[in-house]
Amino acid sequence: MNFIWTIAFMAIVGAAIGAVTNHLAIKMLFRPHEAKYIGSWRIPFTPGLIPKRRDELAKQLGKTVINHLLTPEIFKRKYFNEEMQEKTTKLIVRQLNEKILLSDKTIADWLKLGGLENIASMANKKIEQQVDIQFNQLKSRFEHETIRELAPVDWQQKADTKVGEIVAYILEKGEGFFDSEQGKITVKNLIDDFLSTKGTLGSMIQMFVGESSSLAGKVQPEILKFLRSPGTKNMLENIVRNEWEKLKDRPIVEMIGGFDFEPVITNVKKYLTDQLAIEERLGHSLVFYFPEAAEWTQTKLVPKLTNFAFIEAEAKLEEVLRKMKLEDMVKEQVDSFPVERLEDIVLGISKREFKMITVLGGFLGGLIGIIQGIIVFITG
């Protein structure tokens, strides 16, 4: 009977010791959270294993994440593939169509979203200001510059070559006029007017030469002869050319002096604002101006941009991950993570396993107690 009690006692004691020591060992992984001191002497095994090795744990976790969990190969395999690229393209196209390209919002609405309001009135006012500015600049140039300075050289050269043509045209029209019946009447009227202003002398001339109509018949051929003479053409060309040279050296403002430009400026402003019709144009949506934009972006623009973005991102992936310093980020997060919270997470995940370790410790302790009891009984 003593043998059974001895064995049972030793088994219970061994089981209790094994269970308690295993349970204590598990607790010592985390507790105490901080070092304990008696005076200046730190109590051994404080703090617990994980709090004590927290820095090393953070470093190892960071290295593990970089070397095994978040490697460039994993990112490339998971995100840089044709399926992901196709999904990205469809997403971008859908968002572009819904939000922008096929939206009912007008251009004015988009500008308003960007903080720009009353664009039409502002643009019209700006146009009027520019017209005034350009006119004032032009007027200032006219006040100081001559035709020779302002007009292009090739224009002036072309005008110089036209002097002969202009004189020939004038002589041709003059000859045709004086050779007509109306020309004869004009010559007669001119003679009558001339003689009437001479009083007695005019009467004496009429008495000697007869009526003015007969005198006009004599004068008319002489006029035609004068107009057809080469010397007349040369003379007129020299006169016109000299006057043209003088004209080129005069300020343009002298030739347009007294001309009221205000109605012209007003009409230019009105014409520009009417033709531009900015307010009306801003009242249309993007699809009104670009009806093929949705198809073009879907078939050409977005696929090319997405493909380019994926290629560039994949090429720069390792550099980006290196610059992100994920290892340091993980280390910082682990360092800042409360030990109590870390303990709750670990125990929450492995609670059942830790209980089994405690039970296993009790079982082994009890088994060892039984063996010790048997040894004591045999040797006793």
**By the 8 A CB rule, do 127 and 272 touch?**
yes
Residue 179: strand, helix, or coil? coil
Q: Strand pairing partners for 285?
A: 106
Q: Is the pLDDT of residue 298 over 70?
A: yes
- What Rg do the C-alpha atoms of the chain give, in angstroms? 55
Average pLDDT over residues 148-176: 82
pTM of the model: 0.50
H helices of 145-261, in order, are: 147-150, 153-178, 181-196, 200-209, 212-228, 230-248, 252-255
Q: Is the pLDDT of residue 315 over 80?
A: yes
Chain centroid to CA 308: how far?
Answer: 19
pLDDT of amino acid 33: 65
Q: Is the pLDDT of residue 273 over 60?
A: yes
Higher pLDDT, 29 or 299: 299
Residue 159: partners with Cβ closer than 8 Å, 6 or more residues away: 244
pLDDT of amino acid 98: 87
Any idea which of 4-8, 127-131, 233-237, 343-347 has the lowest mean pLDDT? 343-347
Q: What is the pLDDT of residues 186-232, one digit of tens each?
A: 777 776 666 566 555 545 555 445 555 666 677 778 777 887 888 88
Place of tokens 């020779």: 148
Q: Strand pairing partners for 41?
A: 38
Torsion 172-177-180-185 (CA) sign? negative
Strands 41-42 and 37-38: antiparallel
Average pLDDT over residues 135-141: 78
Cα separation, 167 vs 162, in Å, equals 9
Residue 102: band (very low, low, confident or very high) from pLDDT cuts 50, 70, 90: confident
Average pLDDT over residues 337-346: 69
Strands (E) located in the chain: 37-38, 41-42
pLDDT of amino acid 329: 78
Cα separation, 296 vs 146, in Å, equals 54
Q: What is the pLDDT of residues 117-129, one digit of tens each?
A: 888 888 888 988 9
Average pLDDT over the chain reads 79
Residue 91: band (very low, low, confident or very high) from pLDDT cuts 50, 70, 90: very high
Q: Which two tokens stand for residue 175?
A: 């000859």
Report in angstroms the alpha-carbon separations of 127 from 108, 135, 254, 275: 18, 12, 29, 12
| 34-38, 66-70, 214-218, 359-363, range with greatest mean pLDDT | 359-363
pLDDT of amino acid 224: 79
Cα separation, 105 vs 111, in Å, equals 10
Residues in the chain: 380
Residue 163: band (very low, low, confident or very high) from pLDDT cuts 50, 70, 90: confident
**By the 8 A CB rule, do 61 and 331 touch?**
yes
Burial 223-243 (b: 16+ CB within 10 A, else e): bbeebeeeeebeebeeebeee
Q: Strand pairing partners for 37?
A: 42
Q: Strand pairing partners for 11?
A: none
Higher pLDDT, 261 or 305: 305
Higher pLDDT, 69 or 313: 313
Average pLDDT over residues 85-100: 90
